[in-house]
Amino acid sequence: MDPWHRGMGDSALRMQIVAGSAAGIFADFITHPVSTIKTRLQIQGSGGGLHGAVSYRGVTHALLHILRNEGPFALYRGLGVVVVGAAPAQGLYFGSYEAAKKSLGGGHSGNFAAGVCAQLAGSVAWVPVEVVKERLQVEGQVKAATAYSGSFDAFRKILQHEGVVGLYRSFPIHQVPWIPFNGCYFAVYEKLKEMSLDAGYADANGNLDPVAQLSCGTTAGVAAGLVTNPVDVLKTRLQVANANPDMFPYSSGFGAAQHLLQHEGAAALMDGALARVLWLTPRLTLCVFAYERMKSHLF
């Protein structure tokens, strides 16, 4: 064993954080364009189609419209802050998940609770990252009050004009979709993983077969993503509200819900559901897959 590994031998949690961070950056880079489309679909109906917002008929139309009118780089707006934020966010996420799972002893309730702990810890970094990312992602769609030249310019201006509150205003509602999502995801994922191992889908070292692992992650992601989409719509709108206060005239999740129901109806709560599944399922599946693979080689 090389000196670096010998020095880390008694620091398994640190290794899990490193693996989680690397896995998060890998997954975010691959899936960011779909995240941009998801964000735009979720906010496009606010205000009943007023205020000059560009509307899309679906995932394919959004993709082609963005490529034709804004170019391919528009799909990667906000990636800079995601790459920078992925390391601490995923590190906190997976580090907390492993620590909680070890303390709680597994089982359905233990895995669910571990997912909740992971979400709360990761949110410390993820919430400001999402606020900056989504403000940049919608710039080509809505008439923004402030233009940003990139991720770091957006972070600086939001902090300057809105303070820390502007970066964390959506923290409470951020937990509403993500706590049940992560709890459900890991409860389903660990159960399917256990069933797959029992069925013999393991390699010579006892690790879950890659194909079976991807299948477990995909199934868990689709189920959790669809169930939590309605609240994610409200969360996304609240996070981009200050980009155009006329289009998003509210400052709370309750206000966002009232405005949506008044102008668009309850069906709008499922806006972007397909895009969310197409983004989130491969993102989390790739992230967990990469994490599990790295962890199996590091320990």
Cα 283 from Cα 90, distance rounded (Å): 12
CB count in 10 Å sphere of residue 33: 18
Please report the pLDDT score of residue 75 as a whole number. 95
Nearest alpha-carbon partner for 42 in 148, 141, 145, 120: 141
Asked if 273 contacts 37 with a C-beta cutoff of 8 angstroms, the reply is no
Write the DSSP symbol of residue 207.
P
Please report the pLDDT score of residue 268 as a whole number. 93
Cα 271 from Cα 254, distance rounded (Å): 18
Residue with the larger pLDDT of the pair 66 and 243: 66
Confidence of residue 295 (pLDDT cuts 50, 70, 90): low
Asked if 224 contacts 281 with a C-beta cutoff of 8 angstroms, the reply is no
Please report the pLDDT score of residue 3 as a whole number. 40
pLDDT (mean) for 19-28? 76
Residue 14 has pLDDT above 60, yes or no: yes
As a whole-number percent, the residues of the chain with pLDDT over 70 amount to: 89
Asked if 225 contacts 280 with a C-beta cutoff of 8 angstroms, the reply is yes
Asked if 110 contacts 101 with a C-beta cutoff of 8 angstroms, the reply is yes
Residue with the larger pLDDT of the pair 51 and 66: 66
pLDDT (mean) for 245-265? 91
Which long-range contacts (C-beta less than 8 Å, at least 24 apart) are formed by 154-162?
154/78, 154/81, 155/81, 155/128, 158/131, 158/132, 158/242, 162/242
Confidence of residue 180 (pLDDT cuts 50, 70, 90): confident
Residue 258 has pLDDT above 70, yes or no: yes
Q: Which two tokens stand for residue 140?
A: 């080509």
Instruction: Please state, rounded to an integer, the average pLDDT across all residues of the chain.
Output: 84
Residue 134 has pLDDT above 80, yes or no: yes
Please report the pLDDT score of residue 52 as a whole number. 64
pLDDT (mean) for 197-203? 83
Confidence of residue 110 (pLDDT cuts 50, 70, 90): confident
Cα 131 from Cα 246, distance rounded (Å): 18
Cα 156 from Cα 150, distance rounded (Å): 10
Distance of CA 47 to the CA centre of its chain: 25
Q: How many degrees, rounded to 5, is the angle at CA 49 between CA 46 and CA 51?
A: 85
By CB neighbour count within 10 A (0-12 exposed, 13-18 middle, 19+ buried), where does 234 fall? buried
Q: Which domains does the chain have, with CATH numbers?
A: 8-298 (1.50.40.10)
Nearest alpha-carbon partner for 234 in 215, 217, 257: 257
Q: Which two tokens stand for residue 288?
A: 């967990």
Instruction: Please list the residues that pair with 202 across neighbouring strands.
Output: 208
Please report the pLDDT score of residue 17 as a whole number. 65
H or E stretch covering 202: none
Q: Give the CA dihedral 268, 273, 276, 281, nearest 10 degrees.
A: 160
pLDDT (mean) for 223-251? 90
Asked if 134 contacts 236 with a C-beta cutoff of 8 angstroms, the reply is yes
Residue 242 has pLDDT above 70, yes or no: yes
As a whole-number percent, the residues of the chain with pLDDT over 90 amount to: 36
Nearest alpha-carbon partner for 186 in 253, 101, 254, 255: 101
pLDDT (mean) for 184-206? 82
Cα 276 from Cα 41, distance rounded (Å): 9
Please report the pLDDT score of residue 5 as a whole number. 40
Residue with the larger pLDDT of the pair 247 and 11: 247
Longest dimension (CA), the chain: 63
